[in-house]
Structure 1
Amino acid sequence: MTFSCFGSFRQCKDNRGTQVQGLEIATNNVRLFSYNSLRSATENFHPSKKIGGGGFGVVYKGVLRDGRTVAIKCLSAESKQGTSEFLTEINMISNTRHPNLVQLIGCCVEGVHRILVYEYLENNSLASALLGSKGKPVPLNWTKRAAICLGTASGLAFLHEEAQPPIVHRDIKASNVLIDENLHPKIGDFGLAKLFPDNITHVSTRVAGTIGYLAPEYALLGQLTKKADVYSFGVLILEIVSGSSSSNAAFGEDLLILVEWAWKLREEGRLLDLVDPELTEYPEAEVLRFIKVAFFCIQSAYNQRPNMKQVIEMLSKEVKLNGKLLTKPGVYRPHSSKRSSYGSNITTSSKGKKSVTSTNTTDFHSFQSVSEVVPR
């Protein structure tokens, strides 16, 4: 059955012109688009209109009939949910609104097509602006980078603590943080974890995410909690400070990934060597504090990581963080358990099953338990 939907959920009809039962979902926040209208908006999904893509689909720039420019994401796999259930999830996500979340405008559920329509942000993604992965990089001084860190943390904290039900993003990374014309950050794709079953992923048939950002307990054992997002956010801070990609760059003679390189610089007492060479002027004390916050976020044991509200507090206040409480970060390297670290040990049994042993199991109950708060 093919659906042609315009305006609101109450006006959905099938290809015989019959009102479809079960799709009357009360909402004023999201529109249903026909496939033909989105095809027209993108000039038949012309390659020149493509502005991004990833494990969940391809994104096109489109112009609607009313002249509004939007980002149109064609999902690469069909959800196992029925149409009514899919639209119910869309309705819930459309009600999840925050200044640091990309706004979902509408969707298309027609035949096999599952398409999401988002607000369009002029400067594309943080990956494009910071790492120069697409087009001309946007100049980002330290003040702008710090604001992007805080804004992204605020959006993630909302998903974890205020959204109902709470949402674990599962794929926090620079290409999923979009920035508007004022360099205001907005987290994208925050609803895809709910719209897709667990077996529709980026990395394997079990774990969703991107290499370089994956928390080890999630990558190795499939243990998904909010703290997996916290880990990814810690990696993102290191990228913003260094201007280097966690998933594509290697450092030093040992070809270390970004997390490993940052920790090595800490051990050698030269953390400021991590700072992007393009940052010719920056407040050293504040930059060092941001790096230390990143280290707290990427602790091996997930219960040693702060929650996102605590992260915001550490980023936004001039406090002295007790670096003595830090332990070596957890690192996930696919197909190479010898180069991975999690707590004190990662072992492989005769049956190939990985087991994890952590030397530190103290819960991260409060900000005071992991940081020494001292006004400067």
Structure 2
Amino acid sequence: MPKTFTYDELKEATNNFSEDKLLGGGAFGIVYKGVLRDGRIVAVKQQRAERKLEEQEFQKEIEIISGIHHEHLVHLVGFCIWEAERLLVYEFVSNKSLHFHLHDYGNISENDKEILDWKKRFNIAVGTAKGLVHLHDVSAGKPRIVHRDIKSANILLDEKWEAKVADFGLARSILAGKTHISTEVKGTFGYMDPDFFTSGIRLNEKSDVYSFGMLLLELITGCLPLNKIQPPDSDNEKLAVKAKPMLRKAVKDSNINVVYTDPKLGKFDKSAMFLVVHCTAACVCYPAGDRPQMREILEALEGKLDVRVLTERIKTMFTAEDISWNRKTLLEMLEAIKEEDPATSIG
């Protein structure tokens, strides 16, 4: 069970939540680096004032994530409830986020730069998939957990460049035997499953599968889901909208050369790229019922399942009408979001 910390302990650990301890933050909280009295280095997440949860809701969040133990999931060390303060204490992951290494790379000195090459990216994809498979696991009749906010900012990297899925603030559990739960629409634009967005309340694991597909596309292209693909021959479309026809064409023609790849990749393993492109196409399939389970995606990435099995249906459904997939609705939604704010969330 996670430890209950006092507010004074966490205040001391973070040097009174000093700016020089700041690791980052998003819509739901600010994260500080801390050193506990026993010497352990941790990450302390302090909820933003406008996001304060009632104690019952906060306890429910703790209940969901306290039972999660996996090498590719960030471990919860403890928590603190003091007056209006709600804080979570996680293990510290030393090598920043995938988002940092893909998109903030230009903000660090030349001496500190290390290219996120294809081998690392492929390993990150496999590690993230393993973490999600563990969340979605139905063994022993336990509830499945839907993360609901898979994105590059929530994939942390350790000193060996192994991926750890973080930030379970939007996670929800689904009891064994249930196909979905009814809940409000929340998540990050660009990564959010359009099927969940349009259905409004019906949530299951396939929403995480879609988000993982957009994460794979981000690893391939080096582009944020809300950013325009470069070069200009991309028709100036958003990555989230351009993705499906581009991937379907690659799958239909068995030609990964039609997929835009990050110039920083240089040479890459074409067989591994073939796997990732096909998995991406399967993940972003619409409607959600046509998507595979995360376990199938992992097996395909590991070479245990013929990836073409996952995309055969896509090839047979390759029509102009299918490519449009609520194109107008999604375009209008994306255009309403500020492109310079990749972490924009709702909820």
> TM-score range, shorter-chain basis?
0.7 to 0.9
1:80 aligns with 2:54: yes
1:244 is matched with 223
Match of 1:256 in 2: 237
129 and 301 in structure 1: CA distance in 2 versus 1, 3 angstrom threshold:
same
Q: TM-score, normalised by structure 2?
A: 0.78
Which position in structure 2 is the counterpart of 1:131?
103
Q: Structure 1: which amino acid aligns with 2:53?
A: S
Q: Which moved more, 1:320-329 or 1:118-127?
A: 320-329
Instruction: Tell whether 2:156 aligns with 1:178.
Output: yes
What CA distance in whole angstroms lies between the structure 1 residues aligned with 2:168 and 2:88?
12
Is the Cα–Cα contact under 8 Å of residues 144 and 183 in structure 1 kept in the other structure? yes
**2:289 alignment partner AA:** N
Which runs of 5 or more structure 2 residues have no equivalent in the other structure? 174-182, 334-347
In structure 2, the residue matched to 1:284 is 270
TM-score (norm 1): 0.72
Cα separation, partners in 2 of 1:114 and 1:338, compared to 1, 3 Å: closer
Answer yes or no: is 1:231 the counterpart of 2:207.
no
Match of 1:11 in 2: none
Moved more, 94-103 or 185-194: 185-194
| Letter of the structure 1 residue corresponding to residue 25 of structure 2 | G
Distance between the aligned counterparts of 1:165 and 1:320, measured in 2? 28
**Higher helix residue share:** 2
Structure 1 residues 81 and 194: CA distance shift in structure 2, 3 A:
farther
Percent of paired sites with the same residue: 37
What is residue 294 of structure 2 aligned with on the other side? 308
Classify the secondary structure of the residue corresponding to 1:108: strand
Distance 1:265 1:298, change over 3 A: closer
Aligned residues: 300
Shift of 1:43: 1.8
Kindly provide the amino acid, as one letter, of the partner of residue 308 in structure 1: M
Task: Give me the whole-angstrom Cα distance separating, in 1, the residues matched to 2:22 and 2:226.
Answer: 22
Rg: which structure is higher?
Answer: 1
Cα drift, residue 145 of structure 1: 1.2
Q: Which residues in structure 2 correspond to 1:188-199 (within 5 Å)?
A: 188-190=166-168, 192-194=170-172
CA contact (8 A) 1:289 1:320 kept: yes
Alignment counterpart, residue 317 of structure 1, candidates 296, 303, 306: 303
Root-mean-square deviation over aligned CA pairs:
2.8
Q: Is the 8 A contact 1:93 1:191 kept in 2?
A: no
Q: CA deviation at 1:80?
A: 3.1
Structure ranking higher on relative contact order (CA contacts 8 Å, 6+ apart): 2
For residue 46 of structure 2, give the secondary structure of its aligned residue in structure 1.
strand
Displacement of 1:286: 2.0
Inter-partner Cα distance in structure 1 for 2:53 and 2:245: 42
Task: Tell whether the 8 Å contact from 1:62 to 1:69 is kept in structure 2 after alignment.
Answer: yes
Matches within 5 A, 1:51-90: 51-76=23-48, 77-82=51-56, 86-87=58-59, 89-90=61-62
Task: Report the CA distance between 1:54 and its aligned residue.
Answer: 1.1
Using the TM superposition, name which of 264-273 and 125-134 deviates more: 264-273
The CA deviation string for residues 197-227 of structure 1, in whole angstroms up to 9 with x for no partner, is xxxxxxxx94211111011121122231110
Partner of residue 124 from structure 2, selected from 133, 148, 167: 148
For 2:128, what is the secondary structure of its paired residue?
helix
Change (3 A) 1:236 1:142: same
- Residues of 1 paired with 2:256 and 2:323: CA distance? 15
Task: Check if 1:298 corresponds to 2:280.
Answer: no
Give 1:34 shift.
Answer: 1.1
| Kept after mapping to 1: 8 A contact 2:118/2:268 | yes
Q: Deviations over 1:92-137 (max 9, x none)?
A: 5222101110010001111111100001111111111222266465
Structure 1: stretches of 5+ with no match in the other structure: 1-28, 196-204, 342-376
Q: Counterparts of 1:263 and 1:92 in 2: how far apart (Å)?
A: 33
1:100-115 equivalent positions in 2, closer than 5 A: 100-115=72-87
For each residue in 1:292-330, what CA deviation from the matched residue of structure 2 results, as whole angstroms up to 9, or x when unmatched?
Answer: 110100011100000111111111117351655215568
2:176 corresponding residue in structure 1: none
